[in-house]
Amino acid sequence: MIVGAGMAGVQTAVELRQQGWRGPVLVLGDEPHPPYDRPPLSKAVLLGAAQGTEDVDVRFDVDFAALDVELRLGARAEALRADSHEIVTASGVLAYDKLVIATGAYAVTLPGTAGLPDVYPLRTLDDAAALRPVLAERRRIVVVGAGWIGAEFATAARQADCEVAVVEAADRPLAGALPAAVTAPMRGWYEEAGVDLRTGTPVAAVEPGAVVLADGSRLVAQAVVVGIGARPQTGWLGGSAVALDDDGAVLADDRLRTTVPDVYAVGDCASFPSARYGRRLLVHHWDNAAQGPRTAAANLLGGDERYDPVPYFWSEQFGRFVQYAGHHTGEDTLLMRGDPDGPAWTALWLRDGELRALLAVGRPRDLAQARKLITRSAQLDPVVAADPAVPLKSAVR
């Protein structure tokens, strides 16, 4: 049984079949919609609305009947009874032999906004559908949060000719993900796009037609879009023996096993230990949800494979294609490759000469080479690596 019908859950079912499992597979999805891909919700779906095109089909290209996989929609898991190998749902109790937790994450809400009209998250297909008329009607929008999702939504809203302000409590965009030296040029991206970016200004209140900031200023808001992060969807595991970390994520081991026998976890809902980075990682990105199921399926079927990927994600914002691979900390040395004020540049993070992570703006070749170099713990010559005219792979010592 697989609880969760997002990328991680669906891909686990596909991998089980591809790796030879011929027994029954049941996938439970809590939404009423057929399983769909999430990245287009903040990109193609909203950009389609901005450009007046027809709805984008975001459904997975998976034939569940041909795979002989049973899919139950609108089936929300409410509790896990690990001792008896049972899942409790609103419609009854279901027994499993082996279980995969793939319930993903939910969007964090802005305190004090529950039940308020014209306040929108952007996480699900229904969220994106609700926001399409906001863009079509060219409403004046305030986005709370200058992270990845906030920037992507602001991009689509500006293409729809909406007036947009983005409010960020931190002193810069992406403050929780990237250092100031890397985010500094991103402030200019908002200005170029005609977005009013307010940093260091937390939201004090949301009122009908306005957002009030902590400094007392008021922003006119015909719609408020909240993009302040996501949390693992694991509340239903309370009271079970499945251990969670401080972020609420399932504590999976390096084989994606949980602390309960016969129960595995994949995707946004689970953290895992990385030998490469010497720490536990919680990765809320598509590539993790797509890659983890191969390892989980192999180990469900008796294998002994370690999961230790090079994390990867991408973002399309303000006419730029931004890609990130690896994992960095404040202990790593930052090396800029190219002019960050230009259209294409790369930031590298090295530790004792070893490439640990990379952020590439408009330089997909750097990204492709870096993923391979990080995988093999390559040592780079920093002088050569800093030259954007030299292929990154040529900087290997």
What tokens appear for 247 in the block?
């972020």
Gyration radius of the chain's alpha carbons: 22
Would you list the domain boundaries of the chain? 2-39+58-106+230-300, 109-226, 319-395
Write down the pTM of the prediction.
Answer: 0.95
Q: Average model confidence (pLDDT) for the chain? A: 95
Q: 2-39+58-106+230-300, what's its fold? A: FAD/NAD(P)-binding domain (3.50.50)
pLDDT for position 198: 97
Q: Which residue reads 């985010």 in tokens?
A: 183
pLDDT for position 45: 82
pLDDT for position 42: 86
Give the pLDDT confidence of 98-144 residue by residue, as tens digits. 999 999 999 999 999 988 999 999 999 999 999 999 999 999 999 99
* Domains 2-39+58-106+230-300 and 319-395 alike in fold: no
193 φ, ψ (degrees, to nearest 5): -85, -5
Neighbours of 340 (CB within 10 A): 18
Ranges in the chain, pLDDT < 70 = 47-55
Label each residue of the chain as H, E or C: CEECCCHHHHHHHHHHHHCCCCCCCEEEECCCCCCECCHHHCCHHHHHHHHCCCCCCCECCCCHHHHCCEEEECCCEEEEECCCCEEEECCEEEECCCEEECCCEEECCCCCCCCCCCEECCCCHHHHHHHHHHHHCCCCEEEECCCHHHHHHHHHHHHCCCCEEEEECCCCCCCCCCCHHHHHHHHHHHHHCCCEEEECCCEEEEECCEEEECCCCEEECCEEEECCCEEECCHHHCCCCCCECCCCCEECCCCCECCCCCEEECHHHEEEEECCCCEEECCCCHHHHHHHHHHHHHHHCCCCCCCCCCCEEEEEECCEEEEEEECCCCCCEEEEECCCCCCCEEEEEEECCEEEEEEEECCHHHHHHHHHHHHCCCEECHHHHCCCCCCHHHHEC
Q: Which residue reads 């994450």 in tokens?
A: 105
pLDDT for position 56: 73
Q: Considering the domain 109-226 in this protein, what is its CATH number?
A: 3.50.50.60
| Residues 6 or more apart in contact with residue 335 via CB below 8 angstroms | 347, 348, 349, 350, 382, 385, 386
Q: 319-395, what's its fold? A: Enolase-like; domain 1 (3.30.390)
pLDDT for position 51: 57
Neighbours of 207 (CB within 10 A): 11
pLDDT for position 57: 83
∠ at Cα 121 (88, 280), nearest 5°? Answer: 65
Neighbours of 318 (CB within 10 A): 20
pLDDT for position 292: 98
Strand 250-251 with 279-281, pairing: unpaired
